[in-house]
Amino acid sequence: MSCTSELNDKNSALRKWFYENQNTEQLSRYNKYLQSNLPIILPIGPEIPPAGFKFIGTVVDYLIRYAANGNKLDFQNTIAMNAVRSPSSNNTIKGYFLIGKWHLCGEHPASQAAIYSATALTILDGYYRSGSLPFDFAYRKISDKMIRNCDIADINEQLKENLEGFIEKHGGDYYYNDIANIIRRFRENLLNACGQLYGAKLVNGDNEFNNSIFVGGADFDCIIHHKDKKVLTEIKTSKNNTTIKNLRQLLTYALLYDPELDFFEIDSIGFYHSRSGSFRYIDIDNTILNVFPGFKSVTDARKSFINAISK
């Protein structure tokens, strides 16, 4: 089971712990506060199915990290790289990874080329989590020599039919334009003195907690340093606002966090609403003590939580 599965399963130890310890009124209050306080801009074009928004969300995650780091990406520390390292990896998987790197080395993050490469990395994320490529993808013959020489032109020729077909299925030009608008909004938000992300620094993408083993894996989007806060942030691309379920995910991360064993620092949790540019976050310690009032300290709450889920 993954963290998402545990959160969805009403009978999981994780969900039972929430039911037994949460103050529902406080949970609702925090959820209301974390919702976007700016109008959410809906995509133009055909209705995108819910699964499409989830897929686009991962593409946006990659491109936001890429844009925030000066149009560079730490490819070695990505879920896509984990797919390449997995025992089931093959030349097709390695080929998609090379395509992923192709246009994410200085290319404008809102360009079609960058979105195309980020799509390849996102497909590898899905492969790493499910063990398979999308059902309508055909495996292409990629030689060891092509991989060794990073022969992008030939590799792309073999794989672009799958990639282009996948993008077309998700809206084609509408897909490109939707993602490009989200990325432009993010860049403007970073540079605009009136934007809610002004002066922010984005770090630590695709990392896991030391305690992730207890929920079958829990990787978060990023940490955003904003003013004097270190915010564990989930990037949302949904056209709908956040829910109690989304907040439980953030609270699970806050409870999994071990200040002594995890190599990063966080003191807040929140959402970046990429379709509006709204950045909303709350203090971890105060939130845990208010939502779970039966505990005298955050340390006690974390110990109880880990003890419950580790069984």
pLDDT of 59 over the 70 cut: yes
Q: How far apart are CA 21 and CA 15, in angstroms?
A: 10
* Range 177-199 average pLDDT: 94
Give percent above pLDDT 70 in the chain. 97
* Range 50-65 average pLDDT: 87
Confidence of residue 50 (pLDDT cuts 50, 70, 90): low
Looking at residue 1, its pLDDT comes to: 53
Confidence of residue 240 (pLDDT cuts 50, 70, 90): confident
Maximum CA extent, the chain: 61
Segment 43-46 long-range contacts (CB within 8 Å, at least 24 positions apart): 43/174, 43/178, 43/181, 43/239, 44/174, 44/177, 44/178, 45/171, 45/174, 45/177, 45/178, 46/171, 46/174
Q: How far apart are CA 235 and CA 253, in angstroms?
A: 14
Confidence of residue 51 (pLDDT cuts 50, 70, 90): low
pLDDT of 13 over the 70 cut: yes
Q: How far apart are CA 286 and CA 214, in angstroms?
A: 24
Q: What are the pLDDT digits (tens) for 92-146?
A: 999 999 999 999 999 999 999 999 999 999 999 999 988 899 888 888 889 999 9
